[in-house]
Structure 1
Amino acid sequence: MNAHATGTFDITSWNELATDEKEGATFGRNHITKAFHGDLVGTSTTEILTVITPDGPAAYVGVEHVAGTLHGRKGTFALQHSAASHNGEQWMKWQIVPTSGTGELTGLTGQGTIRVEDGHHYVLDYTLPDA
């Protein structure tokens, strides 16, 4: 089954775990929790590594564990994040970690994007074996 999921999420907590000031950049490690709404309903925990330059946010990478219901199917899965911004342009991408799906989401694969505009919006294009 190929599907397309959309919705929003709220960041429910953001904890800075460590920072390291270097010449020209600040590196950080953060723990984030989220609540998802829309085609995906659930919660997640995320660990991200960031780099911030004097000109603003520059990039982050991370991994996220999601627990919830995706189009009526319940389970968990992991996401790999990559993101950057430059000259006012920003991109944030997700990749579902293969073999990470559990429960009714076993076999889940796919990728998506995040857009920050009047809140956090997600798109997730995925494939899931037929039930």
Structure 2
Amino acid sequence: MNAFTTKNWEEKIVSGTEGSGPRVAYAHALFAYSGVLEGESTCDLLLYYAGEGYESGETTSPSFERFEGKVEGREGTFVIRHEYTFDAKGIASTFTVVPGSGTGELAGLTGSGTAGGTIGEDKVGYTFEYAF
């Protein structure tokens, strides 16, 4: 199964205040991947909350994630651009590999995928279609 787990999540409000309507927050996260992707990543997210918590409906989060590890045995790094959405039920993302970001044996990597899971679950599943 292709999945990742959150190793660390640090979030702070950068605009607006909790309980006062729309706000923007920044999160810095560390993830551990298994499956087609084997390794760890650092992800920086810009979070938009329409209202208080998740109760106000769907929110959005553009983000960049730097992966370091292996793709089917090939080692290196690359960056992906996410567009996350999340609500009280869960998270979902579509993502693409940033062109030209691959290094080492992952140089020339292209690809895209999806991620999704339930809020509070340890593992988030993902799909990843790629080429070199």
Compute the TM-score of the two structures, normalised by the length of structure 1.
0.83
Q: Is the 8 A contact 2:43 2:63 kept in 1?
A: yes
Which amino acid letter does the alignment assign opposite residue 15 of structure 2? D
Report SS of the residue matched to 1:99.
coil
Q: Does 1:9 align with 2:9?
A: no
State the Cα RMSD in Å.
2.2
Q: Distance in 1 between matches of 2:11 and 2:86?
A: 20
Which amino acid letter does the alignment assign opposite residue 111 of structure 2? G
Q: Distance in 1 between matches of 2:131 and 2:36?
A: 14
Deviations 1:66-105 (A, max 9, x none): 0001101111000001022579686411110000001111
- Mark the CA change 1:28 to 1:101 in structure 2 (over 3 Å): closer, same or farther: same
**Please, which runs of 5 or more residues in structure 1 have no aligned partner?**
1-5
Q: Give the aligned length.
A: 123
Q: Distance in 2 between matches of 1:125 and 1:38?
A: 13
Which amino acid letter does the alignment assign opposite residue 69 of structure 1? K
- Mark the CA change 1:16 to 1:85 in structure 2 (over 3 Å): closer, same or farther: closer
Q: Distance in 1 between matches of 2:28 and 2:81?
A: 14
Q: Is the 8 A contact 1:17 1:31 kept in 2?
A: no
Compute the TM-score of the two structures, normalised by the length of structure 2.
0.83
Q: Distance in 2 between matches of 1:86 and 1:65?
A: 24
Partner of 1:114: 115
Question: What is the identity percentage for the equivalent residue pairs of Structure 1 and Structure 2?
Answer: 30
Q: Does 1:49 align with 2:46?
A: yes
Q: Distance in 2 between matches of 1:15 and 1:86?
A: 19
Q: In proportion to residue count, which structure has more strand?
A: 1
Q: Which has the higher contact order (CA 8 A, sep 6+)?
A: 1
Partner of 2:97: 96
Q: Structure 1 runs of 4+ off > 4 angstroms?
A: 85-90
